[in-house]
Structure 1
């Protein structure tokens, strides 16, 4: 059994928002297994009033662009973080984010590591970011990075308010016909935050965890043992409808799914990506 350290407790609290005593109990029951402790907290339906209490604020912006390629188009998006929204909305910070994006595109970068290693002026993006921190007087870092490609790529950049730079970017890669509804799909992704394109894309360990949580939750609610499997399947279907893009209800017409949207256009949604400022996890 792993020791229940303060670091473990903080990790689970940060990720779940549960109270300290609930986290300690869950970690004890899980014998120090963080993933299992999170499952126990979810199964018991423990909610926290202040989920983000004690977490460092992560502000910033997302720079994004579509470029033409030999076989179609490629969409790139790079999150650049600052400590405050005051810095994030300054023209200089937004311009710097766009410079980082240009360097990322030149290097065909698809993750933060390759962005930081990309060339920038006389050095690398990593060096430029370190120098920017001194300029802005705050910790500056490259956060999430995404790349999608296909015959057509659509980008939707959402702003929380008119004076702020984009805080959510959704990118969609489609075939030629699918491009007719790509913007609608990008709006859907931005608003509803799907995690996977189709249910086959959901990792096996995620499904196993969700099924276990659904089972334990049903048992905790006192459901008759013989109907629990049916209840679990219903909860799994709800999980798919919430997290799988093609199975989500289309927000502008709930009688349709996103899959129906593309069927009506006789098109295909190939891939997508969604980045939201401050959602990349903690350093």
Structure 2
């Protein structure tokens, strides 16, 4: 827990630093029917070449293949998608007869659940469900001393 807090603090300090280097990592699942690509960015090519950074990118690519998130970050979720989700949630809660003053609070919680399912950074790490991908990245930022960000993601699957 202490390491997680330190990682978050270090990540916050480095959040505005440019992450213009990095790697594109692929993962092809056994059988070749699912594959993923992840662009993971950092500040210097020195860090991009380290085993720790490459392993992080590899684990994120595996997460993407396994969990199939639609978006890399919360900011990448289009506003119209969020509004549509809120409308559906609100209609459902009103149908259940929930009081209006409680509905907004419930929607906030349901939106967090939506992010956990659909946003890569908010997903529980497939190897340790006590951590999210965001926690994993924050730990790497604390260890490597550079800002790290997920760029683009892509997942492919043979139907």
TM-score (norm 2): 0.72
Correspondence for 2:38: 172
Please give the residue correspondences for 1:257-276 in structure 2 after superposition, counting only pairs within 5 Å.
Answer: 257-266=132-141, 267-276=148-157
- How far did residue 154 of structure 1 move? 1.2
Contact 1:197 1:244 in 2 (8 A): yes
Correspondence for 2:116 among 231, 241, 252: 241
Correspondence for 1:214: 89
Root mean square deviation, CA, Å: 1.6
Correspondence for 2:23 among 144, 152, 176: 152
Structure possessing the higher relative contact order (Cα contacts under 8 Å, 6 or more residues apart): 2
Q: In structure 1, what is the Cα distance between the partners aligned to 2:100 and 2:137?
A: 40
Figure out how many residues of one structure are paired with residues of the other and give that number.
124
Unaligned runs of 5+ in 2: 1-20, 42-47, 142-147
Q: In structure 2, what is the Cα distance between the partners aligned to 1:157 and 1:219?
A: 44
- CA displacement 1:78-104 (0-9 Å, x = unmatched): xxxxxxxxxxxxxxxxxxxxxxxxxxx
Correspondence for 1:196: 71
Correspondence for 2:3: none
Please give the residue correspondences for 1:93-132 in structure 2 after superposition, counting only pairs within 5 Å.
Answer: none
Q: In structure 2, what is the Cα distance between the partners aligned to 1:210 and 1:243?
A: 12
Q: In structure 2, what is the Cα distance between the partners aligned to 1:180 and 1:263?
A: 14
Q: What SS does structure 2 have at the residue aligned with 1:197? A: coil
- How far did residue 158 of structure 1 move? 1.5
- How far did residue 277 of structure 1 move? 1.8
Q: What SS does structure 1 have at the residue aligned with 2:33? A: strand
- How far did residue 268 of structure 1 move? 3.1
User: Larger helix proportion, structure 1 or 2?
Assistant: 2
